[in-house]
Structure 1
Amino acid sequence: MRDVELSSQQKERLVGKVKAYFDEELQQEIGGFEAEFLIDFFIRELGASLYNQGLFDAQQVFNEKMDELGYVIQELEKPEL
């Protein structure tokens, strides 16, 4: 698995969301520097689990679509004489 790397725009947006969450839900202020460290912590600690769940979900969708494709192919079969 590759390390999760966020663009500066993505990180900036997440920092804003973390700061807003702390303000609205916890009635605490958090600085941008602290919010960025918190984001890095969550990525490091939760990233692999979320990544693996995404792979599992993608595999499930892929398997469902392959089953559907199998049925479509069966419908294309011509009767043998």
Structure 2
Amino acid sequence: MPKLDFSNDDQAAIVARVRDYFLSEFDLDVGRFEAEAILVFFAKEIGAHFYNRGLYDAQSVIVNQVDVINDAIYQLEKAPGD
């Protein structure tokens, strides 16, 4: 099983959440190993979608901020003779 790029504490917390979810939603008591396998599966299969969405969201924020800066620069322009 590949190591996820989380700290040991973070991974343990995520695995605990997976285990709690399966127990509360499906009444399934999955073990730590199984919960880690589920986590790895979802990280591999859909993690890139969430990562890319985060990139798109960050890009949108940057574009909006650049627009604000451009507007501020245009407001500083002076007409000839000022």
User: Is this a same-fold pair by TM over 0.5?
Assistant: yes
The equivalences for 1:12-31 within 5 A come to 12-31=12-31
Gaps of 5+ in 2: none
- Structure-to-structure mapping, 1:1-81, within 5 angstroms: 5-81=5-81
Q: Which runs of 5+ in 1 are unaligned?
A: none
Amino acid at match of 1:74: Y
Cα shift at 1:9: 0.9
TM-score under structure 1 normalisation?
A: 0.87
Identity within the alignment, %: 37
TM superposition score normalised by structure 2:
0.86
Aligned-residue offset at 1:72: 1.1
**What do the CA deviations read for 1:40-59 (whole angstroms, capped 9, x no partner)?**
11111112111111111111
Q: How far, CA to CA, are the matches of 1:75 and 1:13 in structure 2?
A: 50
CA deviation vs aligned residue, 1:25-45 (integer Å, no higher than 9, x gap): 111111111001100111111
